[in-house]
Amino acid sequence: MSANIDIVTRFCEAWSRRNVAELVDYFTEDAIYHNMPGPPIEGKPAIKTLLQQILTPITWAEWEMLNIAAADDVVLTERVDRFDVAGKRVELPVAGVFQIEGGKIKAWRDYFDMATWTRQTAPAG
């Protein structure tokens, strides 16, 4: 279990480098990424495309790990994900669920309040 926690910890820390290729390398070929409330994204190529879209407007990222726990191949995280998006600082509380298979992320589901994101990223006015 500690190896799975290590994988997820390193993946979360890698977000600060905003390197899509590095992030995608953490996934299995048939991985599923479900960033709630959007639809699940299946397969490494689709995950790469989505991560590129997410990271394009982000100029800085830092994920603070508040809690992390594992049971068998599942790792649970409680985080505060921080970003600079189009000149705005965003702080987003997130609960993440990661399923690990063969040292890679097989499934990743993040749960957060979309209104919290939208309120912080909406154009001023």
Of 10-14, 22-26, 92-96, 119-123, the poorest mean pLDDT is in: 119-123
Residue 1 has pLDDT above 80, yes or no: no
Domains, the chain, with CATH or none: 2-121 (3.10.450.50)
Q: What is the pLDDT of residues 60-101, one digit of tens each?
A: 999 999 999 999 999 999 999 999 988 889 999 999 999 999
Region of 38 (left: φ > 0; alpha: ψ -120 to 50; beta: rest) is: beta
**65 vs 1, more confident:** 65
3-class secondary-structure state, position 85: strand
Gyration radius (Cα) of the chain, Å: 14
* Residue 114 tokens, joined: 């979309």
What's the gap between Cα 106 and its chain centre?
13
What positions carry a catalytic annotation? Answer: 81, 110
Tokens 């590129």 correspond to 52
**123 vs 83, more confident:** 83
The answer to whether the predicted template modeling score (pTM) of the entire model surpasses 0.85 is yes
